[in-house]
Chain A
Amino acid sequence: MIAAYPITPQTTVVEQIADLVEGGQLDAKYIRVESEHSAMAACIGAAVGGARSFTATSAQGLALMHEMLHWASAARLPIVMAVVNRAMGPPWNIWADFSDSLSQRDTGWIQFYCADNQEIFDTIIQAYKLCEDKRVFMPAMVCFEGFILSHTSMPVKIPDQEEIDDFLPPYNPPWLLDVDNPVTHGSIVYPEWYMEFRYFMYEALENARRLIPEIDKEYARKFGTEYGGHIEKYMCEDADLIIFSMGTIGSEAKLVVNKLRDHGHKVGAARVRVFRPFPKDEIQKLAKNAQMLTVIDRQVSYGMEGPLHTEVKASTCSGKDSPLTAGFIAGLGGRDVTVHDIEAMVNKSLQCMKAGKVEREVNWVGLRE
């Protein structure tokens, strides 16, 4: 069951689905709802009614859904949603940054971030596998940058339906809305019980943390594409400096690593694919031997810094010899982040590493004077 409401740049998704449904290639119910709030409400109804559910949105649409995001996760429904990342207005802006999905950090949704179109496809299949695992039963967002990926054509390998069905068993959760086995969903819970419900959600995301690499490996065995579980790591093993980023910036960062390695700098790149559950242990391990971490955020948390920067610091601060970190806010509202920009960030970080201290923790990249 798909329920969706159009918003740029998500429109390519809902239009394509409409073609597939009306062309008979996709056997699905498609509700063209009158708002994103209703889109998520309909997904919730369908998930409880016994249908695998999907929607897609961007920016303001995701913000309008906010209440229902909590409803979906707290009802433990394995809904998967594509979030085509777009900057929040005002001022109106339809281009990419992560201000929409990262604003939804604490809704309980698992969050994946993709770097190319093949990864989007593969991650959606993996997300259903993860969310429908009884140890998880939580919803997931598969996020990717608007226009950069949503309006870019790339060859994508799509496995046969039978292969996918083999990987992803039929949707059959044990708590359906069923007249022969009546249950009440979501009634009032008093303080004596409420915290336990929240603990179970916490536990579910801890389980998801463990399962994500397993599912990634299983998918790779079957379909040949592997993404490194939580983090795509590129030349991190011996790196003195690691570039942390999410989404397509992570692909660009690899080019910078190649160039700087040619110049003798031991640099690596870590593209964080999963923001919730956050791979804190893995990052701690990854950063153990590094001296410097360069963190690029396509979003800012006002009054603090880039959210990825905060999480990377939180993941690495417990050791005695924590690496230095420098945060870079870049590419908001679709501003291009080029290889040269990333190279400049890394060069600045290398200077900090040499000096043994970071003068400015938060750096805005490419601001007009």
Chain B
Amino acid sequence: MTTLKELPTEEYLLPGHAACAGCGATIAIRLAQKALGPRTVFVVPACCTSVLQSAFPFTAFSNPCLNIAFEAAAAAASGVVAAYEARGVKDVTVLAWAGDGGTVDIGLQALSGAAERKTNFIYVCYDNEAYGNTGFQRSGSSPFGSRTTTTPTGKREHKKDVPMIMAAHGIPYVATACVSYPLDFVDKLKKAKAIMGTRYLQVLTPCPPGWRFSTEKTVELGRLAVQTGIWSLFEIVNGKFEFSTPSVALVDKTKRKPVEEYLKHQGRFDSMTPEDIEELKRWIDASWEKYKKLQQKL
């Protein structure tokens, strides 16, 4: 495992980015750049990163970056990979970097196609659980009960399990992460970098304005997401499922903090009824049962 001291001191995210205070996604970018290094090219569809990299004629990205249409990240990245293969460029990592809307909703077809074609790239979905850039509208990744600007009384459907969808493609590497566990995220990116083929990571990135919490609580909220089990950390390497260290003990339901501890800090959950909270708990338990079965199979 990478230690804090081993993290590169170089900063590849330059000063002057345009992210909100307390932005979890920005932490994720900074860590990803450190983990993957300067020989990485970004392909970024419409998402918060389109904005936070800052506007022409400036950029906060020291890596080359191709901005592309909302649903097109994985397809455009396929083209970059093909061009590099054709030119014999071997030491560059192609990284598609997309939000949850651009991944689990509008970009899912292109992502599925790229994975089925065994495209040699890393796809990271930084998941802030809504369309953050456009004012926090509901996405397929928004959790049950959460208020968004298009579900003002709370979403009635559960979060789409895209890591499992990606695992079903038979790709060599699938992982979940959370910016509150930076070394775990960095390790997973490094592991992904060393593997050939399609590698998918989904990293939870708390969003203060969208989730409606105070900006200094970003890391705390990410920890609570993991500790309450509403977000679990795992890897699926060549089909082998394994919980990651912060989530291992939480397989025992009694070790998980009550989800209310996570919900209470966030304005987006303040319209939930006790029945809604029970439904969310039922879903959390069911998710863990689903993952436990995957682990037991092996």
A residues with CB within 8 A of B: 1, 3, 28-29, 31-35, 37-39, 41-51, 53, 67-68, 71, 177-179, 181-190, 193
Contact = CB atoms under 8 A, between A and B. Distances in A.
Contacts of A189: 55-56
Contact of A38 (B43, B67, B85, B113): B113
A137 to B, nearest CB: 16
Given A187-B50, A187-B53, A51 B83 contact: yes
B80 interface: yes
Given A187-B53, A187-B54, A44 B79 contact: yes
Contact of A183 (B40, B64, B72): B64
B80 to A, nearest CB: 4
B83 to A, nearest CB: 3
A71 B72 CA distance: 11
B86 A177 contact: no
Given A35-B109, A50-B87, A42 B68 contact: no
B25 to A, nearest CB: 16
Nearest to B40: A179
A107 B101 CA distance: 26
Given A29-B86, A179-B64, A37 B71 contact: yes
A184 B65 contact: yes
B77 interface: yes
Contact of B86 (A1, A43, A67, A178): A1
A190 B82 contact: no
Nearest to B65: A184
B79 A42 contact: yes
Contacts of A50: 83-84, 86-87, 89
A38 B76 CA distance: 7
B79 A45 contact: yes
Nearest to A2: B82
Contacts of B53: 184, 187
Interface string B44-66: 00000011011111010111111
A29 B78 CA distance: 11
A51 B86 contact: yes
Contacts of B38: 179, 182
Given A42-B75, A48-B80, A179-B41, A67 B69 contact: yes
27 contacts: A29-B82, A35-B109, A37-B72, A37-B75, A38-B109, A41-B68, A41-B72, A41-B76, A42-B75, A42-B78, A45-B76, A45-B77, A45-B79, A45-B80, A45-B83, A49-B80, A49-B83, A51-B86, A179-B41, A182-B63, A184-B61, A186-B67, A186-B68, A187-B56, A187-B59, A190-B55, A193-B56
A43 B75 CA distance: 9
A359 B50 CA distance: 55
Contacts of B65: 182-185, 187
Interface in B30-48: 38-41, 43
Nearest to B78: A42
Interface residues of B, number: 46
A30 to B, nearest CB: 9
Contact of B67 (A29, A31, A185): A185
B86 A28 contact: yes
B117 interface: yes
Nearest to B112: A34
Contacts of A187: 50, 53-56, 59, 65, 67
A104 to B, nearest CB: 16
A33 B87 contact: no
Contact of B113 (A29, A34, A193): A34
Most buried by A among B76, B89, B112, B113: B76
B92 interface: yes
Interface in B101-123: 109-110, 112-113, 116-117
A177 B64 contact: yes
A143 B87 CA distance: 29
Given A179-B38, A179-B92, A184 B64 contact: yes
- Nearest first, the 3 closest Cβ-Cβ pairs linking A and B are A45-B79, A49-B83, A34-B113
A189 to B, nearest CB: 4
Contacts of A68: 69, 72
Contacts of B84: 49-50
B212 to A, nearest CB: 26
A38 B40 CA distance: 22
A179 B79 contact: no
A184 B38 CA distance: 14
B14 to A, nearest CB: 11
B83 A1 contact: yes
Contacts of B81: 45, 49
A129 to B, nearest CB: 20
B94 to A, nearest CB: 8
